[in-house]
Structure formats: C-alpha cells, structure tokens
Amino acid sequence: MHAYFIRRLLLIIPTLLGVSMLLYAVIQFVPGGPVEQMRMAAAQQEGGRGVSSGSANSSLSEDQIDAYKELFGFDKPAWEGYLCWLGVLPRETNIKRVEFLDGAKELRTRLPKTRQPIRIVREGESVSFNAVDGSEIKGWEIAFERKIRKTKDDQGREGTLEKVYAKLHQKKFDGILQGSLGQSIFYSDSVTSIIASRLPATAWFGFWSFLLTYLISIPLGVVKALKHRSAFDTVTSGGIFVGYAVPAYALGALLVVFLSARLGWFPMGGLSSIQFRDFTFMEKVRDLISHSVLPLFCYVIGDFAFLTMMMKNQLLETLSADYVRTAVSKGVPFRRAVFGHAFRNAFVPIATNLGQFISLFVGGSFLLERIFDINGVALLGFEALLQRDYPLVIGVAMLGALLLVIGNIISDFITALVDPRISYR
C-alpha cells in the first residue's frame, strides 16, 4: 500500500503539468485578451474626453502594445511562453528600449532600477554597451531590434516607418517551479499574494461547512435508517428534500433580504465588522459567528441533504445483508450489529468522497460569496475571468486542480482505513 500512495503522490507532478498545459493553451486562443482590454480601456478614456471612437482605437501606440505583449508573454510562440511561465526557460524582465534616431551610431542612457549611466554603440546589425565610468555591468543583456511602424500624415494617408532600437533587459527564471504564478493584470500584484489574501475567508467557510455537514448528516442518516418509515423519518425526509431542491444561492438571497435587511437579525454580509480589530476576544467570536450563520447554512444545506440520504440508504442496504441478520440471530446485540458491523461497511461509499471536500477550502461558491459579500477565492476567480486576468485565472485553477488531486489521494487513504478488505498495490 505504501508503494501505491508513493506512486500516487509522484503522479501529482505530471497531472498538474498536463493541467497547466491545457490551461495555458486555452488562454492563448481565447479572444479578448489583456492587450485588447488595454485598448478598450484607452478607448473609453478617450471617448470620455469627447474623442471619436476612430481616434480612440489608435490611442495606444504600437510601442505601448508591444510593451503589453512582452509583459504578458504574448510576444513569444506559445510553447516558449509556456516554458517561461513554467520556469524552465528564463523570461525577460526590466525591459528598456532606446531608439537610434537619424542614423545615430552611439547613445547614452541609464540602466533601469540602478540608473547607472551607460554608452550604447551600434555596428551594423549589432549593438554593444558599457558603463560610462568603466565599471563592470553584470546581469544585463542587449539586443538589436528593427521594427516597421505604421504612420499617418496630416491628410490621413497611411505609410510605414522603420525604427531601430537597442533593447536592454535582464533574464530571470520566474515561474511555477520557482514558486511564482505571475503577476495579476488587474491588481498589478503577484498572483500568489492575491490568492493568499483571499484564501482565509474561503477556508473558514469551507472548513466549518465540511465539519457541520458530516457531524449532522451522518448521525441523522443513521437515525433515519433505524427509524425507517416512522413519523420522524417522514418529517425529516420532507425537510431534506426541500433543502436539496432549493438552490443555495436563491436561499441565500432570501435570507439576506428577510433576516438581514428587514429584521436585522444578522449582518448584511462580509466575514467581520469594520471595527473587528478593536473588539475584545469574545466580541470577535460573536462577530464571526453572526457573520457566518447565514452563509454556512446555505453552504451546508445541499451537501447535508445528499449525504444524509446516502448514509440512510447505505445503512439500510447493509442492515438487510445476510451477515448482519446472521449475527443478530446468533445473539449479537442489535446496537453492536449496527455500529460494529453494518455502519463501517455503509460508511465506505461516503469515505470515498470525503477527500473531495478539501476542494471546498478554496473552491467555495462564487454565487454565495457574491450574495454575502465574502472576498473569497471563488469570487476572485470569477471576477478574474470577467476581467480577462489570465495569470490570476490560471493561478486559481491550478490551486483547485492541486487540491482536487490531493483530495483523491486522501479519499483512497480513508477508504483503505475504513475497509481493510481494500488493498492498493
């Protein structure tokens, strides 16, 4: 069994590699990327100042568009951009272009960040550089570039213009293998730090919904199985079916309107109050509970109904098995037959799905997070998709894929613990 789980852990690497390749490929072919978003934003700004839409479309120069493509990695072939994003190939950073005007053969400028004065010399189709003070320059590279730009004269006639540049840049390994998921386009911050800031809220509701779901559904399912067709079973089944049928987001909207907005029993949304840091310990506990009751109720109700009925049906089927009836007929107490024999076997199908709930810790529900104004990871991923923030979309998807793979391994492990007949090889 140990060898099996070691193999499963090692398979996480090729699985996530395949997921990353698929995500990156999809992003490359989806229309309306970040460069188009920048163009639209510039057009809206120009339009707000009374500029016509035709001129607004040209408000971004070709140099600016090239800079955006380099920032997002769209200036390279898809395979090269993927390897740079993965961290196998170095990516160019701190890029600075200097144009040779009027056939100049020598330029003087400063390096980005350090502001060190340098001299750039052009010789045909190659360029070189050195420090003005003669000191050594480390970590910088230079390349010769020739670009054809479109122009318009005063009469609107189009033409072309050749421009020659020296491109200063540094190369750095900065990808997933180095622990970096890239930089968010919309937030202008690292994807890792943005997800980390949203993770506590989603993990809070994911943990408690997981705990409450199993603490309620399993005992209730056992009681319903033991009291099958009784008044208790009938009444609880009606409530369970209603809870399963009502969408969680619709129920959440009703609870916010009636219990929060009209009656004022609970806060309108969020994870905590604005004055949370100034509260005492007990006040913080009460504040967290008051903000968590309604969202947790909506998180729990759907899975709670499904698990309760699964537990009941599995236990009923196990109680009717021959080995349970034989044990009771031989004098084994009914309680021992239920909890010592039947319950363990009935719990196996539930144990197979137990590890999948780890995805709730980051998955959540973007609809519930939107309704209850919770700044969680699910809502972050949804907003990133609408904003075409592709580095953030891939980061959230990769985190979800990682937890899903780990959840499958945990499910196998729990199933092996519950049922000793299962042997993984």
CATH number at residue 293: 1.10.3720.10
pLDDT at 55: 41
pLDDT at 221: 87
pLDDT at 57: 46
pLDDT at 52: 44
Range 143-149 contact pairs with CB under 8 angstroms and sequence separation of 24 or more: 143/167, 143/169, 145/97, 147/62, 147/66, 149/62
Confidence of residue 51 (pLDDT cuts 50, 70, 90): very low
Task: Judge whether 324 lies within some domain.
Answer: yes
Task: Judge whether 343 lies within some domain.
Answer: yes
Q: What is the pLDDT of residues 96-105, one digit of tens each?
A: 888 888 778 8
Task: Judge whether 133 lies within some domain.
Answer: no
Task: Judge whether 390 lies within some domain.
Answer: yes
Which of 64-73, 115-124, 376-385 comes out lowest in average pLDDT? 64-73
pLDDT at 58: 47
Task: Judge whether 315 lies within some domain.
Answer: yes
Task: Judge whether 84 lies within some domain.
Answer: no
Check pLDDT > 50 for residue 306: yes
Q: What is the pTM of this model?
A: 0.74
pLDDT at 114: 78
pLDDT at 117: 87
- What is the mean pLDDT of the segment spanning 55-69? 63
Q: How many domains are contained in the chain? A: 1
pLDDT at 324: 79
Confidence of residue 121 (pLDDT cuts 50, 70, 90): confident
Average pLDDT, the chain: 79
Largest CA distance in the chain: 104
Task: Judge whether 137 lies within some domain.
Answer: no
CB 75 within 8 A of CB 28: no
- Sequence length of the chain is 425
Task: Judge whether 403 lies within some domain.
Answer: yes
Range of the domain at 373: 191-418
pLDDT at 208: 85
